[in-house]
Amino acid sequence: MKWHIWESENINDSIYWLNWFGIKYFEGTFEELNKFENDSRFKKIDNYYPIGYNFVLYEYLNAKPIVSLVENINNTDIIKEFDFERINPDEITITYDNFENDNVILFKEFYHKNWVAKELNSDEKLEVVEIEPGFMAIYPKEDSTGVKLYYKKDFIELFSIFLSLLSLIFLVLLWKSKKLTALNLL
């Protein structure tokens, strides 16, 4: 992907990968991004000159969203209007008027087995399928009006959060006891 966007001289190749990954803003060195300079699909945001790394920031004006309703995996042109609400990074609600049998919801975040999808109307669980290059697709039932997609933490993740909190409490208690000991020595 990196080579196709930044180094390739073929602008259409770059646009394909920007669309596929849902990239709206990107940066690079002046030499890498020269091909975007006079293209109306891109807006140069600014040049930056921090010490050691000079770069330019661009906005891709025709960027596709991270969630799309598409005809099929091979045709990723958006086919339907939909409402998309991301309540938090781990929960997404997608609503639309009507869903046809061949259509698919394309979710351009890297696949993980803990993502769960459910129909909004029936609360029926849907399969989240990994597609190339590691993104996710959801195939709702015909006449569906929406899908809720959420990340369900597994035991290991919950246990690691518990250990982190326990460690934090231990450190606070240790710090307080050291502080009390230091006051007693005075």
47 and 54 Cβ atoms separated by less than 8 Å: yes
The per-residue pLDDT for range 71-110, each reduced to its tens digit, is 777 766 666 678 888 888 889 898 888 777 778 888 888 8
Q: How many Cβ atoms are within 10 Å of 184's Cβ, its own excluded?
A: 7
Q: Where are the domains of the chain?
A: 2-60, 67-151, 157-186
What CATH fold (topology level) applies to the domain 67-151? Immunoglobulin-like (2.60.40)
Q: How many Cβ atoms are within 10 Å of 92's Cβ, its own excluded?
A: 22
Q: Read off the DSSP letter of residue 63.
A: P
Q: pTM, whole model, 2 decimals? A: 0.63
Is the pLDDT assigned to residue 30 strictly greater than 80?
no
Average pLDDT, the chain: 82
100 and 143 Cβ atoms separated by less than 8 Å: no
125 and 117 Cβ atoms separated by less than 8 Å: yes
Q: How far apart are the first and last CA of the chain?
A: 63
Given this model, what pLDDT does residue 161 score?
A: 92
Is the pLDDT assigned to residue 6 strictly greater than 70?
yes
